[in-house]
Amino acid sequence: MGLLDEILNKIFKVEDKEKNILQDQEEEVLLGQIERMNEKGIDKATNKKELAIDTQKRKEIGKSAKLLCFLDLHYVSDENLAKLREISPTDYDIILCCGDNRFDYLYEINHVLEGNKYGILGNHDKWDVLDNENIENIHGEVIEVNGIKIAGFQGSNKYKSKDYPSFTQEESQIEADKIPRADILISHTSPYGIYGEEDTSHIGLRGITKYIVDNDVKLNIHGHYHTNTNTVLEDGTVILGLQGAVIIDTTDYSIRRIF
């Protein structure tokens, strides 16, 4: 190895070290955003309590749209399938499928419900499940409804070797930098560590946290946990962790449960 090569190697090593330090500092800042949060009570077993939002703290979208969201349909019973036919086109402005979809439900959503349909994949989904029903996958993309921009972030933390939608924490942060700015983020999993889960499948993604902080996201809607929770981050971002079928009104974040 020549003198020039030795000098270049030293330079690159220093740059890599500085890059790692900056990345660690950035992660500390991101995690600091979720250390202090305001969680409202909810009966996770029966869903009888309302998801009350802290109106003094939350960020406001400032525009009105009703979002018909489907989350973790692989976890709901067959008897709810008929309830899709009770939903009127006037009840919603857009349809969003947030991952871990069931093909029979997707078929009904596509053939029974009117309007624009978009989705993302969950960690149990096959890659073509949305394509088979002509539902547009918006992972990494931004769509718009009533002047509100909505971005998609699919998958979960990579905790198994099989080829399902998932990311390492580092990969998720790279993905976050590719997504244009939006008011709302729909994701399958949550921001990293927000619920204190210790198992790797439910730890969330740092990339989602990064995207929320970098883009001043007002509302994050996610599934994956098979519970119903409302959290307001320190910066005012509202995080709704939901399951089943719900209609969310962006005016006041009120939630109408279908099943």
Does some domain include residue 51?
yes
Residue ranges of E strands in the chain? 38-39, 66-71, 94-97, 117-119, 136-137, 142-145, 148-153, 156-157, 166-167, 184-187, 219-222, 229-232, 238-241, 244-249, 254-257
- Give pLDDT tens digits for 185-233: 999 999 998 887 667 778 999 999 999 999 999 999 999 999 899 999 8
Q: What is the CATH number of the domain that holds 195?
A: 3.60.21.10
Note the pLDDT tens digit of each residue in 27-86: 454 445 444 333 333 233 223 233 445 556 899 999 999 999 999 998 788 889 999 999
Rounded Cα gap, residues 12 and 26, in angstroms: 21
Tokens of 71: 């989350």
Does residue 102 surpass a pLDDT of 50? yes
Instruction: Report pTM.
Output: 0.80
Instruction: Establish if 198 belongs to a structural domain.
Output: yes
How much is the pLDDT for 6? 55
Q: Is the model more confident about 41 or about 241? A: 241
Report how far residue 119's alpha carbon sits from residue 131's, in angstroms, rounded to the nearest whole number: 10
Tell me if 21 is assigned to some domain: no
Residue 72 carries which DSSP code? -
* 117-119/136-137 β-pairing: parallel
> Is 7 contained in some domain?
no
Which helix (H) or strand (E) covers residue 181, if one does?
Answer: none
Decide: 33 and 211 in contact? Cβ < 8 Å: no
Are the beta carbons of 226 and 246 closer than 8 angstroms?
Answer: no
* Residue 132 maps to a domain: yes
Asked if the structure places residue 27 within a domain, the reply is no
Is residue 189 in a domain? Answer: yes
Report the number of distinct structural domains present in the chain.
1
Amino acid 45: pLDDT:
28
Q: Are 72 and 100 in contact (CB under 8 A)?
A: yes
Q: For residue 221, give the nearest of 129, 150, 166 by alpha carbon.
A: 150
The region of weakest confidence among 1-10, 31-40, 122-131 is 31-40
Domain that holds residue 238: 33-257
Residue 9 lies in a domain: no
